[in-house]
Amino acid sequence: MVTAVDTGGRTDSRRDLTVAVIGAPCDVAAGLRGASLGPEAIRIAGLAHRLHGLGHTVRDHGDLSGPRNPEQPAVEGYRHLPEAMTWCRTIRDAVAAALDGDEFPLLLGGDHSIAVGSIAAVARHCAQRDMPLSVLWLDAHADFNTATTSPSGNIHGMPVATVCGRGHPDLMELGPAVPMVEPTQVFQVGVR
């Protein structure tokens, strides 16, 4: 999850957020299908109820729509680049709209490529407000592959590299600048 909250200098926790739940049932950038089932499963597990219990208002924006996984081989080191671009652009715009509406975006995915779109939106939001941006990446994998290091070309293994300025030019340009975030401001936890 990527978030930007302007606390106005406060250090206390915010218990009065309006959480914008945005589903991104995307699996176009993964080698195996199934990640697209994530948003529905998380909702069924009671996400909204738990967020309400924490004192937040929940506004579920439903699921975004995008292309299905065409299950084709990689082209020039990238599998399904046009489809991943469409998803990331749609996600960027939805997360930006939530931020512009003073909502806290909570993106439910989906394969890891969706992070490119959400980080692009948050990077733009932070840049417009002269706010610093850091990314906390909780994953067993660094997701720092490029077209030349990935044996599969699956873009879901490339989002961290992409937002740090080491990806396909079209994906990198979704944000306000290249890189969207400095590599020194990406903190990875759980990488094995």
Domain of residue 68, CATH code: 3.40.800.10
**What total number of domains does the chain contain?**
1
User: pLDDT tens digits for 104-147?
Assistant: 999 999 999 999 999 999 999 999 999 999 999 999 999 999 99
What domain range is 89 assigned to? 18-189
Query: In this structure, is residue 9 part of a structural domain?
Result: no
Query: In this structure, is residue 8 part of a structural domain?
Result: no
* Model pTM score: 0.91
Query: In this structure, is residue 85 part of a structural domain?
Result: yes
User: pLDDT tens digits for 61-91?
Assistant: 999 999 999 999 999 999 999 999 999 999 9
Instruction: Please give, one letter per residue, the 3-state secondary structure of the chain.
Output: CCCCCCCCCCCCCCCCCEEEEEEECCCCCCCCCCHHHHHHHHHHCCHHHHHHHCCCEEEEEEECCCCCCCCCCCECCEECHHHHHHHHHHHHHHHHHHHHCCCEEEEEECCCCHHHHHHHHHHHHHHHCCCCCCEEEECCCCCCCCCCCCCCCEHHHCHHHHHCCCCCHHHHCCCCCCCCCCHHHEEEECCC
